[in-house]
C-alpha cells in the first residue's frame, strides 16, 4: 500500500499533471498542425486545425531543403558511429572487467574520466588536428570523433554489467578449450546484451542529435546532417514557415519512435548518463 | 585459466583500438587546449604557436562580454535551482504515485529530453516570435496582453527565456532522478510518521527531503556543470544575440574561435569551462557531504 506517502488530493495532482503535459506536448502538437498549414494560416489561425491536410510543405522540406538526403546522412553517420562505439567499447570492457589485468582499474578510471570532459573544450585542438590531415568534409572524421566522445559512457555501462556476470563461467569455458576471442564473442557479449542495447540506443540518440561537431567539420552541402540542413534552411527561407515546421516534424519523428519503442532503456540510460557527470 | 601470454595478447589487441581513439581524439585535445591557451595561433594547421604567457587569460577577464556570459550562466543556475528543481522534484513525486494514467504522463513529461536540440530550438524560436508568434498570441487572447514581450529580441528578457526553454527540455530528465530517490525511501518510515500524527507536508519536510539529500546533491552537481556547458539551445535560438546579450562561455568560445579567429582566447575560455566545471563538482560534492 502506498497511501502513507505525503499526499495531495487526487484532483489537484491530476490537474497539475495535465497542465505540465500540456506544456510539454502542446508545442509539438502545434508544430505538427502548422506543418500542414500555409504561412497565412499559421499566422491567422494558430490554434485551429489545418483547413486541409496538404503535404506540399513536406515535399518542400524533404526535397527542396534536402531533408531527405540529410536523413540518410544522419542515419548513416549515427549507425556507423554507434556500431564502432559498441565494438570498441565492448572489447575494451571485456578486457577491463574480465581479464583481471594489473592496471585494469586504473585504465577503467582513465576511460571514465572522459564522461566529465566538456566537449567544447576540445573543439579548437580537434579542428587543428583535422585540418592538418585535411579531414574536413569526411564522414570518417565525424565517426571517429563521435566514437571517442561516446566511448567512455558506453564502457561505463557495459563494463559494470560484465563485472556482474559470474567469473566461474570464464573458468569453465576456458577448461573446455574456449579461447579469449570465443569467450568474448559467444559467451560474454550475448550475456551483456541488456547493457549493450542501452549503450547502443543512447549513443545513437546522442550522435543523431549532435550539432556542433557537424557544424565545424562539414561544409559540403551534400554531406549535411539533419541539424545543419535545418539551420541553413531556416536562414534562407525566413518568410515561409510551413516547410520549416515540416522539417522540424521530420527530424523529430525518428527520435519519438526510438523513445516510444525503447522507453525504459532510454529513460534509465539517460538518467544514468546525467547522474554520472 | 587463460594462459598469461594469451591473456596479455588479447588484452592488448582488444584494448588498443578504444584506447587510441579515446586518447587521440578526446584526452589529447583537452590537454592541447590547456596548452594552447598560453599561445597565440592563427588557425593555419602548419603555422607555429606563438607563446603568449597569460595574455589570453588577461584578454578574457578584461572582456565585458565574458562577464556577461558568466552572468548568463548564473541565470541558468538560478532558474535551475529556483524553478527547475522544485518542478522536477514535484514531477518525480507525481510519477512515483500509483495514479491512473501515470504511464502517459511519464512519457509526456520525458518526451522533450529525447528530441534533437536543433528542432526544439527552432520550434521555440517560432513559437516565441514577437509578432504573430503562438505564445504572444495566446497571451493576448487570454487577456494578458500586457505580458507580451520580444522574448528573444530583448537583451534582458532573452537571458531568462533561454533558461526557461532549457527547463522545458530537462525537467523530464531530472524528474527521473528525483523519482528514483523517492521510490527508494522505505514505506515504513511514512507509516511510523503517520502513527505519530505527521500529516502530508510534515512528512515531506521531515522524511522525504532529508532522505533525498544525495539526490539533491546529484541534482546540484548536474545543474552547475550543465549550466556551464550550455551551447546548442543558444546557438540555435539566438546565436548569442541580440548583440552578445545571451552568450555563454561555450558559445563565446565558438564565436571567438571559429568566427573571429581568436584561437588563443577561445582556448582560454575552453580551459576555463573545464577547470570551473571540475572545481564546481568537487566543491559541491565535498560541501554537501561534509555537513551530514
Instruction: Tell which residue, A264, A13, A15, has the closest CA to residue B103.
Output: A264
Q: Does B30 contact A132 at a Cβ distance shorter than 8 Å?
A: no
In a domain, B7, yes or no: no
Can you tell me the distance from the alpha carbon of B222 to that of B80, in angstroms, rounded to the nearest whole number? 10
Q: Which residue of A has its CA nearest to B137?
A: A46
Q: Does A211 contact B267 at a Cβ distance shorter than 8 Å?
A: no
Pick the CATH number of A57-276 from 1.10.3720.10, 3.40.50.300, 3.90.550.10, 1.10.565.10: 1.10.3720.10
**DSSP single-letter state for residue B84:** I
| Interface test mutation site (partner B, options A13, A24, A93, max chain B beta carbons within 10 A) | A24
CA distance B159 to chain A (A): 20
Q: Is the pLDDT of residue A24 over 80?
A: yes
Can you tell me the distance from the alpha carbon of A204 to that of A143, in angstroms, rounded to the nearest whole number? 12
Can you tell me the distance from the alpha carbon of A266 to that of A198, in angstroms, rounded to the nearest whole number? 7
Q: What is the CATH number of the domain that holds B87?
A: 1.10.3720.10
Q: Which residue of B has its CA nearest to A241?
A: B126
| Interface test mutation site (partner B, options A46, A121, A249, max chain B beta carbons within 10 A) | A121
State residue B27's pLDDT score.
96
In a domain, B56, yes or no: no
CB B207 within 8 A of CB B127: no
Reported as a pLDDT band with limits 50, 70 and 90, residue A1 is: very low
CA distance B160 to chain A (A): 17
Q: Does A256 contact B235 at a Cβ distance shorter than 8 Å?
A: no
Stretch(es) of chain A classified as CATH 1.10.3720.10: 57-276
Can you tell me the distance from the alpha carbon of A42 to that of B132, in angstroms, rounded to the nearest whole number? 9
Instruction: Tell which residue, A202, A109, A119, has the closest CA to residue A159.
Output: A109
Count up the domains in chain B and report the number: 1
State residue B53's pLDDT score.
86
Q: Does B229 contact A118 at a Cβ distance shorter than 8 Å?
A: yes
> Chain A residues with CB inside 8 Å of B111's CB?
24-25, 28, 256, 259
In a domain, B36, yes or no: no
User: What H or E segment, with its residue span, contains residue B172?
Assistant: helix B158-183
CA distance A77 to chain B (A): 15
In a domain, B33, yes or no: no
Nearest to A88 among B18, B176, B204 (CB): B18
Q: Is the pLDDT of residue A5 over 60?
A: no
B284 alpha-carbon distance from chain centroid: 15
Reported as a pLDDT band with limits 50, 70 and 90, residue A272 is: confident
In a domain, B25, yes or no: no
* Cis-peptide, bond into residue B242, ω within 30° of zero: yes
CA distance B156 to chain A (A): 24
Q: Which residue of A has its CA nearest to B268?
A: A121
Q: Is the pLDDT of residue A4 over 50?
A: no
Nearest to A231 among B46, B118, B200 (CB): B118
Q: Does B124 contact A226 at a Cβ distance shorter than 8 Å?
A: no
Nearest to B26 among A149, A181, A251 (CB): A149
Over residues A72-104, the pLDDT tens digits come to 999 999 999 999 999 999 999 999 998 888 888
Phi-psi map region of A71: left, alpha, beta (phi>0 left; psi -120 to 50 alpha) = alpha
In a domain, B15, yes or no: no
State residue A7's pLDDT score.
53
Q: Does B231 contact A212 at a Cβ distance shorter than 8 Å?
A: yes
State residue A2's pLDDT score.
45
Instruction: Tell which residue, A137, A93, A107, A138, has the closest CA to residue B23.
Output: A107
CA distance A54 to chain B (A): 20
> Chain B residues with CB inside 8 Å of A147's CB?
21, 25
Which SS3 state, helix, strand or coil, does residue B39 take?
Answer: strand
Q: Is the pLDDT of residue B7 over 80?
A: no
State residue A106's pLDDT score.
93
Angle between helices A10-34 and B117-127 (to 10 degrees): 90
Q: Which residues pair with B50 in a beta bridge?
A: B40
> Chain A residues with CB inside 8 Å of B15's CB?
91-92, 95-96, 107
CA distance B155 to chain A (A): 21
CB B159 within 8 A of CB B248: no
In a domain, B232, yes or no: yes
Burial class (CB in 10 A: 0-12, 13-18, 19+), A150: buried
Q: Does A124 contact B257 at a Cβ distance shorter than 8 Å?
A: yes
Nearest to B274 among A121, A152, A267 (CB): A121
Nearest to B203 among A6, A118, A145 (CB): A6
Q: Residue B169: which domain range?
A: 64-290
> Chain B residues with CB inside 8 Å of A126's CB?
25, 29
Q: Does B17 contact A122 at a Cβ distance shorter than 8 Å?
A: no
CB A157 within 8 A of CB A167: no
Reported as a pLDDT band with limits 50, 70 and 90, residue A53 is: confident
> Chain A residues with CB inside 8 Å of B32's CB?
125, 128
Q: Which residue of B has its CA nearest to A104?
A: B11
Q: Is the pLDDT of residue A276 over 90?
A: no
CA distance B136 to chain A (A): 11
CA distance A117 to chain B (A): 7
Instruction: Tell which residue, A190, A226, A246, has the closest CA to residue A57.
Output: A246
User: What H or E segment, with its residue span, contains residue B85?
Assistant: helix B85-96
User: What H or E segment, with its residue span, contains residue B256?
Assistant: none
Reported as a pLDDT band with limits 50, 70 and 90, residue A275 is: confident
ipTM confidence:
0.90
Over residues B220-250, the pLDDT tens digits come to 999 999 999 999 999 999 998 898 999 999 9
CA pseudo-torsion sign B21, B26, B27, B30: positive
Over residues B90-137, the pLDDT tens digits come to 999 888 887 788 889 999 999 999 999 999 999 999 999 888 888 988
State the average pLDDT over residues A251-255.
94
CA angle B27/B31/B37 to nearest 5° reads 145
Over residues B22-51, the pLDDT tens digits come to 999 999 999 999 999 999 888 887 788 889
CB A149 within 8 A of CB A209: no
Q: Does A117 contact B19 at a Cβ distance shorter than 8 Å?
A: no
Burial class (CB in 10 A: 0-12, 13-18, 19+), A25: middle
Amino acid at each position: 500500500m502506498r497511501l502513507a506517502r505525503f499526499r495531495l488530493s487526487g484532483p489537484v495532482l491530476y490537474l497539475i499533471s495535465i497542465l505540465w503535459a500540456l506544456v510539454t506536448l502542446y508545442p509539438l502538437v502545434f508544430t505538427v498542425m502548422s506543418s500542414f498549414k500555409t504561412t497565412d494560416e499559421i499566422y491567422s489561425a494558430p490554434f485551429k486545425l489545418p483547413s486541409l491536410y496538404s503535404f506540399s510543405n513536406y515535399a518542400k522540406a524533404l526535397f527542396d531543403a534536402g531533408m531527405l538526403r540529410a536523413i540518410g546522412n544522419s542515419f548513416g553517420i549515427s549507425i556507423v558511429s554507434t556500431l564502432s562505439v559498441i565494438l570498441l567499447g565492448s572489447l575494451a570492457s571485456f578486457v577491463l572487467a574480465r581479464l583481471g589485468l594489473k592496471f585494469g582499474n586504473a585504465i577503467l578510471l582513465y576511460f571514465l574520466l572522459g564522461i566529465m570532459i566538456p566537449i567544447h573544450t576540445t573543439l579548437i585542438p580537434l579542428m587543428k588536428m583535422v585540418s592538418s590531415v585535411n579531414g574536413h568534409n569526411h564522414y570518417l572524421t565525424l565517426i571517429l570523433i563521435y566514437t571517442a566522445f561516446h566511448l567512455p559512457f558506453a564502457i561505463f555501462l557495459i563494463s559494470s554489467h560484465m563485472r556482474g556476470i559470474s567469473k566461474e563461467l570464464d573458468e569453465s569455458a576456458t577448461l573446455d578449450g574456449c579461447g579469449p576471442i570465443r569467450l568474448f564473442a559467444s559467451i560474454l557479449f550475448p550475456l551483456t546484451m541488456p547493457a549493450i542495447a542501452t549503450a547502443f540506443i543512447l549513443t545513437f540518440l546522442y550522435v543523431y542529435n549532435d550539432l556542433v561537431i557537424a557544424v565545424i567539420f562539414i561544409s559540403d552541402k551534400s554531406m549535411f546532417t539533419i541539424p545543419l540542413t535545418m539551420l541553413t534552411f531556416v536562414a534562407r527561407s525566413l518568410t515561409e514557415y510551413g516547410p520549416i515546421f515540416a522539417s522540424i516534424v521530420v527530424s523529430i519523428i525518428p527520435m519519438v519512435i526510438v523513445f516510444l519503442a525503447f522507453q525504459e532503456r532510454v529513460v534509465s540510460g539517460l538518467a544514468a548518463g546525467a547522474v554520472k557527470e | 585459466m587463460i594462459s598469461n601470454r594469451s591473456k596479455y595478447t588479447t588484452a592488448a589487441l582488444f584494448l588498443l583500438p578504444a584506447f587510441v581513439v579515446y586518447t587521440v581524439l578526446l584526452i589529447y585535445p583537452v590537454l592541447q587546449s590547456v596548452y594552447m591557451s598560453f599561445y597565440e595561433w592563427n588557425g593555419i594547421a602548419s603555422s607555429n604557436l606563438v607563446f603568449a604567457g597569460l595574455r589570453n587569460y588577461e584578454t578574457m577577464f578584461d572582456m565585458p562580454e565574458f562577464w556577461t556570459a558568466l552572468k548568463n550562466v548564473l541565470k541558468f543556475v538560478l532558474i535551475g535551482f529556483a524553478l527547475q528543481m522544485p518542478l522536477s522534484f514535484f514531477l518525480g513525486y507525481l510519477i512515483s504515485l500509483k495514479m491512473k494514467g501515470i504511464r502517459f504522463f511519464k512519457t509526456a513529461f520525458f518526451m522533450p529530453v529525447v528530441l534533437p536540440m536543433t528542432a526544439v530550438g527552432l520550434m521555440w524560436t517560432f513559437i516565441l516570435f514577437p509578432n504573430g508568434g503562438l505564445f504572444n498570441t495566446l497571451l493576448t487572447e487570454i487577456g494578458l496582453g500586457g505580458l507580451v514581450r520580444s522574448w528573444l529580441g530583448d537583451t534582458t528578457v532573452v537571458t531568462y527565456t533561454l533558461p526557461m526553454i532549457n527547463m522545458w527540455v530537462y525537467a523530464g530528465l531530472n524528474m527521473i532522478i528525483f523519482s528514483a530517490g523517492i521510490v527508494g525511501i522505505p514505506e515504513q518510515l511514512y507509516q511510523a510518521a503517520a502513527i505519530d500524527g505527521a500529516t502530508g507536508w510534515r512528512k515531506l519536510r521531515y522524511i522525504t527531503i532529508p532522505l533525498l539529500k544525495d539526490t539533491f546533491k546529484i541534482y546540484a552537481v548536474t545543474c552547475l556543470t550543465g549550466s556551464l556547458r550550455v551551447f546548442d539551445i543558444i546557438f540555435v535560438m539566438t546565436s548569442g544575440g541580440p548583440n552578445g546579450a545571451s552568450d555563454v562561455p561555450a558559445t563565446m568560445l565558438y564565436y571567438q574561435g571559429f568566427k573571429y579567429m581568436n584561437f588563443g582566447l577561445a582556448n582560454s575560455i575552453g580551459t576555463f569551462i573545464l577547470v570551473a566545471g571540475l572545481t564546481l563538482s568537487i566543491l559541491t560534492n565535498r560541501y554537501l557531504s561534509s555537513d551530514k
